[in-house]
C-alpha cells in the first residue's frame, strides 16, 4: 500500500522515521506531505504536557479527566467499565489531537512492593489481559491508538533500566506473556511498547524471540513496536529484532548507525523498509481519524469516573453490618485524605484533573447529620504530629462513628522506586492507634495503590479499599460508605499477612544486574492456594451489602475434548435485601499432575448484576488453554489427560460449587515412548501396555514373598513403575531382547505392523 511512498524516501529519511521528532511526536516527511503525529502518556487519562513556554515539566499538563488507574479498574472485574473508560479517554485525546495514548500496562504484580503496581491490573494474567483488551477496544473504536506495555517481564522499578529478568520459558508462557497475548489477539493494539529490562540476557527492545517470533509470528501483531522512553540499546540490533520506533527523538547518532549499517551490508535495507512501512501505515491511520474542533464532554466523563470508581471499591471487612452508615448523629471524618484525597499515583501517569471531589465535601452534601473533621496527619510528611493526633483523638471520642482515611503517600509508592515494606506511614499508623483507642466504631477507608499490612484489622469493624480512585474518588467513597452504591469490587491481587509470605520475597528485587524469577508459575494466589498458606485477604475477595448464593453447577458429562470450547453454567442468586453485583469466578485444577502446577487457576469470570431475589444462569467458556500447561520440551501447550476440578465461587478461597471433569485432547500428537520412558508412559498404548506387563512380571514375581503392605513392597513397586526402560533392560539380564524392544517402540510409532512381534523372544 505504501510502496510508492517508500520508494520516494531517501535512505536518510527512512532512518530518520525510525525515531521520534521530539519527546512526544513521531516524525513526518514534509516534502511528501507526510504529517507528524503525537502520542502522550496515559493510560487512565490524558497526560499531554503543555508546550514549551507554558510549563513543560512532568506535572504541567493540560486538564483531563483522571479516571481510576488500573488497580481500580481491575477491581471492577467489569469489561464494560473498561470499554467505556477507553472510549472516554480517546475522546479527550481527539480533542487534543493526540493519535496514540501510551497504555494500558499489563505487567504482572509479581510482588506487592513494585512502586508502579497501581498502574498494572493484576497478579493474574487472565484478569489483566481481558480487561486490557476491553480498554483497548473502547479507545481504538473512537479512533485513538493504544500502546500495550511494558513488553515484557518488567515487574519492578528498582534497576528497571539495568536488570535482567531471568525467567524460565514455562513461567514466561503461563504468567508473564498471556496478558499481552490476550490483548493482542482480542483487541489488536496499534502499538506495543518494549520494556527497559533484559529478558534472559537480551534487552527487550532487541529480543527477536519476544518481538518477532512470539509477538508477530505467533500472535499475529502487525502494528508498530516502540521503545519505552530511553530503552533503546543497540539500534541496528533492535531493527533486526523487530523494533520499529525509538522514543524519544531525535536520535541522530542512531540514525547515522542505521544508514552506515545498510551501506556496509550489515543491515538489509529490506529490514529497514519493513519497519518504515509499518510506521507509514500508523501515520496514515492516525491522520485518517483526526477530528478538527472535536470537544470532549468533561462533565459526562466525571460522572463516568465516579461510577467506575464506586464499582472498584472493595469492601474488605464489614463486621456486624457496620456499613453502610446511616446519615444521622455525629460522624467523624478523620485523616487529611478526607479533604485532600490521594487519588492517583506518582510518575508519568500523573494527570491534571478537570475537577476533584473530596469525601468531606461530598458527605456534607448529604445532610441530616453532624460531620466532624480532624486532619490527624499532614500530607507534607510521614512522621506523627502529636498535636494533630490529639485533636483527632478528641474528635473520635466525640463522634458516634468514625471513618478514618489513611493509606500510602507518593513518597512511599510511585513510578521510579519500589517500596521496602508493607506498613502504613508512621503518621497514619499512630493516628489509627489513637483513634481506635478513643472510639472502636471505626471504618477504615484506604487510599493506596497496592496491598498494605493490617496488624490492626481485628480492632476495627469495617475496612474499605478505595485504591487510588481518580478525580471522582471522594464522591465514590461516600456513595459506598452511605449505601448509595452497593460495593461490588473484588481484589485482583492477594493481600498477604506478611511480606515474608510473598512468593518472590527471597529474590525480589534482585541485584543491580539480574533478578531471578525462582518462584516460577507460583505467583500470587497460585502460591498461597497451593501451599495452603493463610493470607490477609485472598485474590478475588470482595464483600457486599447483600448476599449471593451459587447453585446448580453444570459441566459436560463423559470425557471432554480439551481441544474444543466447553461451556460451564452456574446459577447465581441475590439472597439479600438490596440490588448488587458480583464477579463470578471459575477456577480449574489438575487433579493428577506430573509437573508442578498450581492447586487452582482462574480460567473464566463474569460480572453479574442482580436485583433482590433474582437468579441468573451464568455461562462461562473454557478453551484448550484452560486445561493446558506449557511444555518446554515440546515447545507447545500440552494437556495432561485425566481428571480436572472445575470450581466456581466469589474468590480463590471462597469456592461455592465444584465438579470433576474428565479431559482428553483428541487432536494431540502422541508423545511416543523411548528408552528413557517409564512403564506408565508405555501403558498409554495397547502394545506398550502388554510390553509393560511383560517387563514388570519377573519383578512382581520376585516380590511375592513380601507383605503387600510393607515398606519394602511399596518401595519395590514404586521403583518398578519409575525406572526407565534402559535400566530395566539391564535388570532383565537378556530375557527381553534388544530386537523386541526396538520392534515394540517402532510398532507404537506406527513404523511397523504389530504382527512383526509374533514369535520374537520374550513376546507372549
- Residues involved in catalysis: 228
Phi/psi for 371 (5° steps) reads: -110, 125
Closest CA to 548 of 510, 578, 511, 590: 578
- Dihedral of the alpha carbons of 237, 243, 244, 249, in degrees to the nearest 10: -70
405, 359 Cβ separation under 8 angstroms: yes
The answer for residues whose C-beta is within 8 angstroms of residue 52's C-beta and 6 or more apart is none
The answer for residues whose C-beta is within 8 angstroms of residue 675's C-beta and 6 or more apart is 724, 725, 726, 729, 741, 745
Vertex 754 angle, CA 750 and 756, to 5°: 110
245, 190 Cβ separation under 8 angstroms: no
406, 428 Cβ separation under 8 angstroms: yes
User: From residue 19, how far is each of 30, 100, 252 by CA, in Å?
Assistant: 16, 16, 9
Taking the C-alpha atoms of residue 706 and residue 721, their distance in angstroms, rounded to an integer, is: 17
How many CB atoms are located within 10 Å of the residue 418 CB? 20
User: From residue 597, how far is each of 205, 213, 593 by CA, in Å?
Assistant: 31, 26, 7
Q: What is the DSSP letter of 246?
A: B
- Dihedral of the alpha carbons of 362, 364, 366, 369, in degrees to the nearest 10: 150
User: From residue 648, how far is each of 326, 605, 610 by CA, in Å?
Assistant: 34, 9, 17
Grid cell for residue 695: 517387563
Taking the C-alpha atoms of residue 491 and residue 72, their distance in angstroms, rounded to an integer, is: 9
The DSSP secondary structure of 532-589, one letter per residue, reads T---SB-TT--B-SS-EEEEEEE---SEEETTS-EEEEEEEEE-SSS-EEEEEEEEEE
291-330 burial string, b = 16+ CB within 10 Å, else e? eeeeebebeebbebbbbbbbbbbbbbbbeeebbbbeeeee
Closest CA to 282 of 213, 208, 188: 188
Tally of CA atoms within 13 A in the half-sphere of 674 that contains its CB: 2
Q: What is the DSSP letter of 172?
A: I
Residue 57 exposed, middle or buried by CB count within 10 Å (0-12, 13-18, 19+) = exposed
Secondary structure class of 122 (helix, strand, coil): coil
402, 396 Cβ separation under 8 angstroms: yes
Lateral strand order in the sheet of 566-574: 548-554, 566-574, 615-622
Taking the C-alpha atoms of residue 293 and residue 290, their distance in angstroms, rounded to an integer, is: 10
Sign of the torsion angle spanned by Cα atoms 708, 712, 718, 724: negative
User: From residue 605, how far is each of 585, 652, 658 by CA, in Å?
Assistant: 5, 12, 15
347 φψ region: left (φ > 0), alpha (ψ -120 to 50), beta (else) = left
Amino acid at each position: 500500500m505504501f510502496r510508492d511512498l517508500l520508494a520516494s524516501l531517501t535512505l536518510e529519511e527512512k532512518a530518520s522515521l525510525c525515531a521520534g521528532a521530539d519527546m512526544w511526536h513521531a516524525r513526518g516527511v514534509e516534502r511528501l506531505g507526510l504529517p507528524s503525529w503525537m502520542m502522550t502518556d496515559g493510560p487512565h487519562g490524558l497526560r499531554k504536557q503543555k508546550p514549551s513556554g507554558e510549563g513543560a515539566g512532568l506535572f504541567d499538563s493540560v486538564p483531563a479527566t483522571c479516571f481510576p488507574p488500573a488497580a481500580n479498574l481491575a477491581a471492577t472485574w467489569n469489561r464494560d467499565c473498561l470499554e467505556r473508560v477507553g472510549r472516554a479517554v480517546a475522546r479527550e485525546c481527539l480533542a487534543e489531537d493526540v493519535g496514540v495514548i501510551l497504555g494500558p500496562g499489563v505487567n504482572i504484580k509479581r510482588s506487592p512492593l513494585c512502586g508502579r503496581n497501581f498502574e498494572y491490573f493484576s497478579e493474574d494474567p487472565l484478569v489483566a489481559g481481558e480487561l486490557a483488551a476491553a480498554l483497548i477496544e473502547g479507545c481504538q473504536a473512537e479512533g485513538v491508538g493504544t500502546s500495550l506495555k511494558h513488553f515484557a517481564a518488567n515487574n519492578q522499578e528498582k534497576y528497571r533500566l539495568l536488570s535482567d529478568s531471568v525467567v524460565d520459558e514455562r513461567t514466561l508462557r503461563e504468567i508473564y506473556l498471556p496478558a499481552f497475548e490476550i490483548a493482542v489477539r482480542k483487541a489488536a493494539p496499534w502499538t506495543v511498547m518494549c520494556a527497559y529490562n533484559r529478558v534472559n540476557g537480551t534487552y527487550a527492545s532487541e529480543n527477536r524471540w519476544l518481538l518477532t517470533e512470539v509477538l508477530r509470528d505467533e500472535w499475529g501483531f502487525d502494528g508498530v513496536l516502540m521503545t519505552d522512553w530511553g530503552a533503546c540499546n543497540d539500534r541496528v540490533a533492535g531493527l533486526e529484532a523487530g523494533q520499529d520506533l525509538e522514543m524519544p527523538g531525535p536520535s541522530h547518532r542512531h540514525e547515522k548507525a542505521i544508514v552506515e549499517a545498510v551501506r556496509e551490508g550489515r543491515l538489509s535495507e529490506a529490514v529497514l523498509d519493513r519497519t518504515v512501512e509499518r510506521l507509514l501505515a500508523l501515520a496514515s491511520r492516525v491522520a485518517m481519524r483526526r477530528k478538527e474542533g472535536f470537544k470532549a464532554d468533561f462533565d459526562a466523563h466525571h460522572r463516568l469516573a465516579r461510577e467506575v470508581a464506586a464499582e472498584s471499591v472493595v469492601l474488605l471487612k464489614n463486621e456486624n453490618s457496620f456499613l453502610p452508615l446511616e446519615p444521622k448523629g455525629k460522624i467523624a471524618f478523620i485523616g487529611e485524605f478526607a479533604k485532600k484525597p490521594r487519588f492517583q499515583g506518582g510518575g508519568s501517569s500523573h494527570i491534571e484533573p478537570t475537577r476533584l471531589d473530596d469525601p468531606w465535601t461530598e458527605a456534607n452534601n448529604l445532610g441530616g447529620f453532624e460531620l466532624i473533621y480532624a486532619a490527624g496527619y499532614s500530607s507534607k510528611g510521614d512522621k506523627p504530629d502529636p498535636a494533630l493526633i490529639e485533636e483527632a483523638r478528641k474528635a473520635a471520642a466525640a463522634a458516634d462513628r468514625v471513618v478514618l482515611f489513611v493509606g500510602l503517600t507518593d513518597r512511599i509508592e510511585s513510578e521510579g522506586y519500589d517500596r521496602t515494606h508493607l506498613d502504613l506511614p508512621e503518621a497514619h499508623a499512630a493516628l489509627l492507634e489513637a483513634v481506635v483507642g478513643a472510639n472502636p466504631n471505626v471504618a477504615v477507608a484506604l487510599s493506596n495503590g497496592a496491598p498494605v499490612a493490617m496488624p490492626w484489622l481485628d480492632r476495627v469493624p469495617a475496612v474499605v479499599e478505595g485504591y487510588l480512585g481518580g478525580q471522582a474518588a471522594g464522591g465514590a467513597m461516600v456513595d459506598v460508605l452511605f449505601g448509595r452504591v452497593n460495593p461490588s469490587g473484588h481484589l485482583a491481587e492477594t493481600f498477604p499477612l506478611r511480606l515474608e509470605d510473598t512468593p518472590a520475597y527471597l529474590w525480589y528485587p534482585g541485584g543491580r544486574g539480574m533478578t531471578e524469577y525462582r518462584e516460577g508459575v507460583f505467583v500470587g494466589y497460585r502460591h498461597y492456594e497451593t501451599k495452603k498458606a493463610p493470607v490477609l485477604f485472598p485474590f478475588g475477595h470482595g464483600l457486599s451489602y447483600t448476599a449471593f448464593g451459587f447453585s446448580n453447577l453444570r459441566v459436560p458429562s463423559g470425557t471432554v475434548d480439551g481441544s474444543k470450547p466447553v461451556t460451564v453454567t452456574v446459577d447465581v442468586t441475590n439472597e439479600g435485601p438490596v440490588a448488587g453485583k458480583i464477579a463470578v469466578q471459575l477456577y480449574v485444577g489438575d487433579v493428577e499432575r506430573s509437573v508442578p502446577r498450581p492447586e487452582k487457576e482462574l480460567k473464566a469470570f463474569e460480572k453479574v448484576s442482580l436485583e433482590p431475589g433474582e437468579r441468573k444462569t451464568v455461562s462461562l467458556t473454557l478453551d484448550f488453554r484452560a486445561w493446558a500447561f506449557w511444555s518446554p520440551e515440546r515447545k507447545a501447550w500440552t494437556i495432561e489427560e485425566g481428571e480436572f476440578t472445575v470450581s466456581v465461587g466469589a474468590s480463590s478461597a471462597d469456592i461455592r460449587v465444584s465438579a470433576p471433569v474428565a479431559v482428553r485432547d483428541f487432536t494431540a500428537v502422541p508423545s511416543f515412548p523411548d528408552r528413557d520412558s517409564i512403564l506408565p508412559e508405555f501403558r498409554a498404548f495397547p502394545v506398550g501396555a502388554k510390553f509393560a506387563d511383560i517387563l514388570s512380571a519377573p519383578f512382581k514375581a520376585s516380590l511375592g514373598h513380601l507383605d503387600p503392605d510393607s515398606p519394602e513392597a511399596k518401595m519395590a513397586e514404586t521403583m518398578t513403575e519409575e525406572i526407565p526402560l534402559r535400566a530395566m533392560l539391564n535388570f532383565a539380564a537378556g530375557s527381553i531382547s534388544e530386537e523386541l524392544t526396538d520392534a515394540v517402540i517402532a510398532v507404537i510409532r506406527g513404523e511397523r505392523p504389530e504382527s512383526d512381534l509374533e514369535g520374537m523372544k520374550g513376546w507372549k
